[in-house]
Amino acid sequence: AQSVTQLGSHVSVSEGALVLLRCNYSSSVPPYLFWYVQYPNQGLQLLLKYTSAATLVKGINGFEAEFKKSETSFHLTKPSAHMSDAAEYFCAVSERGDNKLIFGAGTRLAVHP
Amino acid sequence: EAQVTQNPRYLITVTGKKLTVTCSQNMNHEYMSWYRQDPGLGLRQIYYSMNVEVTDKGDVPEGYKVSRKEKRNFPLILESPSPNQTSLYFCASSFLATNEKLFFGSGTQLSVL
């Protein structure tokens, strides 16, 4: 069965610092992988998705993620955090050919001045 | 504007009193789904639909019903709500194709007393 593990339910960084949010997945077949962001009192929005075209995926708002098959990881990074990045971030996986997403538990990112 | 609309945003009810949460999308999406979000558990799928009159159970369907009589609407019905159904609920939709982006509603915070 597919599953997603996000390491760290809370991450705190200073404005301008590197953001690293960790995601590991388990899947019996090569998966599709996603990162979604949830701002306070809003629904989820897609940040980026991996579709096997390239292992380094660039998304919106300066975020990117690298698919590493050997590590079964899809960590999300941003070189320089901004106050507006404070939100909850969810990693998700789906099997190829399936619209269903399996979500991780989420990581809440706090950005301090 | 492309959107998924859920109503109501907030709902407080008592055990056993039937309720319906509505969901409507204006993007002609075939696929619609309901998720519940609980702290530390991420989002879990309740039910989904791949087209009109086609619905199926997700991972946590107990205590819920859905219907899909029209393509744009996908209501979530709680026939006899219980306190363990207190949660934040999200409706989502997408085109029925591999790896399609999910569009989420703004959520419904339900409290069952």
In which band, very low, low, confident or very high, does the pLDDT at A3 lie, cut at 50, 70 and 90? confident
* Contact (Cβ atoms closer than 8 angstroms) between residue A8 and residue A104: no
Residue A30: asked if its preceding bond is cis (omega within 30°), the reply is: no
B-chain residues near A101 (CB < 8 A): 43, 45, 102
Q: Which of A35, A99, A100, A107 should we substitute to test contact with B (largest number of B Cβ atoms within 10 Å)?
A: A99
Q: How far is CA B111 from the centre of its chain?
A: 15
Q: What are A61-105's pLDDT values in tens digits?
A: 999 999 998 899 999 999 999 999 999 999 998 876 667 888 999
Interface mutation target, options B29, B99, B101, chain A, most CBs of A under 10 Å: B99
Strands B31-38 and B87-94, by their bridges, are antiparallel
DSSP state of B73: B
* C-alpha–C-alpha distance, residues B109 and B19, integer Å: 13
Per-residue model confidence (pLDDT) at position A97: 62
Report, as ranges of residue numbers, the positions in chain B whose pLDDT lies below 50: none
Residue A40: half-sphere exposure toward Cβ, Cα within 13 Å: 5
Neighbouring residues of B84: CB distance < 8 A, sequence distance ≥ 6: B112
Task: Provide mean pLDDT across the span A10-28.
Answer: 94
Q: What percent of chain A has pLDDT over 90?
A: 71
Q: Does A99 touch chain B (CB under 8 A)?
A: yes
Specify the DSSP class assigned to residue A80.
S
